Amino acid sequence: LPISVAVRTPGARTLRRGGTVRLPLAVTVPAGTAPGTYTVPVRFTVAGRTVERPVTVRVHLPAGGRDLVPGGLATSSGDETPDFPAAAVADGDPATRWSSPVDDSAWVQVRLRTPARVGKVVLHWQDAYAARYQVQTSADGVTWHTAVTVADGGGGDETVWLDGAGQAGYIRVRGVRRATAFGYSLYGIEAYAVTG
pLDDT tens for residues 74-111?
999 999 999 999 999 999 999 999 999 999 999 999 99
Q: Residue 88 has what DSSP assignment?
A: G
Report how far residue 122's alpha carbon sits from residue 17's, in angstroms, rounded to the nearest whole number. 43
What pLDDT is attached to residue 156?
Answer: 98
For residue 60, what are the contacts with CB-CB under 8 A and spacing of at least 6?
35, 119, 120, 161, 163
User: What are the structural domain ranges in the chain?
Assistant: 6-59, 64-194
Mean pLDDT of 155-173: 93
Report how far residue 163's alpha carbon sits from residue 64's, in angstroms, rounded to the nearest whole number. 13
What pLDDT is attached to residue 111?
Answer: 98
| AA identity, residue 151 | A
Q: Which CATH number fits domain 64-194: 3.30.1490.20, 3.40.50.800, 3.40.50.2000, 2.60.120.260?
A: 2.60.120.260
Burial, 50: exposed, middle or buried (Cβ in 10 Å; 0-12, 13-18, 19+)?
Answer: exposed
Note the pTM of the prediction, 2 decimals. 0.83
pLDDT tens for residues 9-47?
767 777 777 777 777 777 888 777 888 888 888 877 777
How many C-beta atoms surround the C-beta of residue 169 within 10 A?
19
Work out the mean pLDDT of the chain and round it to a whole number: 90
* Predicted confidence band of residue 53 (pLDDT cuts 50, 70, 90): confident
pLDDT tens for residues 98-153?
999 999 999 999 999 999 999 999 999 999 999 999 999 999 999 999 999 999 99
How many C-beta atoms surround the C-beta of residue 79 within 10 A?
20
Mean pLDDT of 182-193: 98
Q: Tell whether the model's pLDDT for residue 1 goes beyond 70.
A: no
For residue 185, what are the contacts with CB-CB under 8 A and spacing of at least 6?
84, 97, 98, 99, 100, 125, 126, 127, 128, 129
Percent of the chain with pLDDT over 90: 64
- For 10, the enclosing helix (H) or strand (E) is none
Report how far residue 21's alpha carbon sits from residue 33's, in angstroms, rounded to the nearest whole number. 31
